[in-house]
Homo-oligomer: A and B are copies of this chain.
Amino acid sequence: MTTSSALIAVSEQRCFGGKQLRFKHQSAVLHCEMQFSVFLPPQAELHKVPALYWLSGLTCTDENFSSKAGAQRVAAELGLALIMPDTSPRGADVADDPDGAYDFGLGAGFYVNATEAPFAAHYQMYDYILQELPALLQAELPLSAAKAISGHSMGGHGALVIGLRNNAEYRSISAFSPICHPMNCTWGQKALRGYLGDDETKWQQYDAAYLLAKQGSQLPILVDQGLSDNFYPAQLQTDSLVKAAEQAGVAAEIRLQAGYDHSYYFIASFIEQHLRFHARHLGLTSA
């Protein structure tokens, strides 16, 4: 357990022979105190390990994935760390949705760098996930520089956008039930207008379907979408990602899973396949 002033240990629990950890720290880019969770596999006692960043969905904190996805078993086997950030800046002075809605503001940062007042003061989740958190964790924990990125729903959007725009920073990208084309759905339009303003050309940098069609991807991509998901297709628009991949000539693996919904029961059912996909591209296992 670190005693660095940058990282304050909140809890440590043994799990599958590794450590389920929770930390808090003062974020320089978000200007607030943040909590996040980490799973360190047993191998991290011996050497540095690569990390999978998991971005959660609307209303979640760092604890949903750690308690419900059942990912630690396979991560412990593979020697893969799991990094689970919160979904927005937090604190009494952080602006929220004026109506307290679940889909904007607290718990709904959408992994963008906001430019509109009053949100720009704290909502810089893109930089937090891409820069601040990895730099902090590689300095403080036994993590190598090798990273992969995944997430669910709003977090699937975040994983795709951050991964696509920063191919050199990650080895692979995956997502469950991602918001693929936020410029074209009500969740995304509300968030992008609120954080970025009315100029829709500024929204493009945070739209996975737009980015994939325009620039393609050097990274392998795996996406799972349940066909009994209440938010499919209207909010998620998996089709737009399929079309963008075809347009860009990218061999993304985008799978539609019959019977599955938007819940963590869906994530738990397929997380092992996602972890093994990332492990291959992180060099933990052979292809």
Contact = CB atoms under 8 A, between A and B. Distances in A.
A269 B67 contact: no
Contact of A68 (B67, B73, B260, B269): B67
26 contacts: A13-B261, A13-B263, A13-B265, A14-B226, A14-B228, A14-B259, A14-B260, A14-B261, A14-B265, A14-B266, A14-B269, A15-B265, A15-B266, A15-B268, A15-B269, A16-B269, A17-B269, A67-B67, A67-B264, A68-B68, A70-B70, A70-B73, A70-B268, A72-B268, A72-B269, A73-B269
Contacts of A265: 13-15, 20, 72
A259 B67 CA distance: 18
Q: In the complex this chain forms, how many copies of it are found?
A: 2
Interface residues of chain A: helix, strand, loop or mixed (majority): mixed
Contacts of A268: 15-16, 70, 72-73
Contacts of A70: 70, 73, 268
Contacts of A226: 14
Interface in A92-120: none
Contacts of A263: 13
A266 B17 CA distance: 10
Most buried by B among A15, A17, A263, A266: A15
Contacts of A17: 269
Interface residues of A, number: 23
Contacts of A67: 67-68, 264
A70 to B, nearest CB: 3
Nearest to A259: B14
Task: Please name the 4 residue pairs, one residue from A and one from B, whose CB atoms are nearest each other, closest first.
Answer: A70-B70, A14-B259, A15-B265, A13-B265
Interface string A209-247: 000000000000000001010000000000000000000
Nearest to A68: B67
Contacts of A269: 14-17, 72-73
Interface in A46-91: 67-68, 70, 72-73
A246 to B, nearest CB: 28
A259 B15 CA distance: 9
Contacts of A15: 265-266, 268-269
Most buried by B among A13, A68, A259, A266: A13
A67 B16 CA distance: 17
Most buried by B among A73, A264, A265: A265
